[in-house]
Amino acid sequence: MVFSKNNTLLKMISRKTTALNIIAKNWEEAVKVSGDLLVEAGFVEERYTQAMIDSVKELGPYVVIAPGVALPHARPEDGVYEPCMSLVTLRTPINFGNKNNDPVKIIVSFGTTDDKTHVEALTKLARIIGDPEKLEILKNAGDYETIESVLRG
């Protein structure tokens, strides 16, 4: 996948890697949904989803990076074919165990093949998450077009 300088995030979070208003019983199920989107799109191996879950179990809820937002990921050697991201919103927010930023409403899982390819997309994502108005739009989006307009912005 080749990324243009200003549309990396929009190309990584595509319609096929987005699922909105999902029902999940717990954080593991939510991460599984986000990882399965990457598997189904052909970006990662099935074992990558379990590696993301195992990482949170082992290291704690460090993936909850902002109020209401989790960014699960695993190592490139856990089965990443190409840089990718999925975005999942939850109908009912869930707790990961991060007292400062729970409950989580948005899960953006990502995979990368090296330590550089994903940086531009994560930087743009951080700017969006840091904007309370844009974050609220993402949390409540009812369709991909709404997500796309925020990512494009």
Active site residues: 73
- Angle value at C-alpha 151, between 10 and 33, nearest 5 degrees: 70
Rounded Cα distance, 117 and 139, in Å: 26
Hey, what are 42's tokens?
């052909």
Is the omega angle on the peptide bond into residue 132 within 30 degrees of 0, that is, cis?
Answer: no
Q: Among 46, 102, 100, which Cα is nearest to 78's?
A: 46
* CA dihedral sign of residues 86, 89, 92, 93: positive
Backbone angles phi, psi at 140, to 5 degrees: -105, 10
| Distance between CA atoms of residues 44 and 77, nearest Å | 10
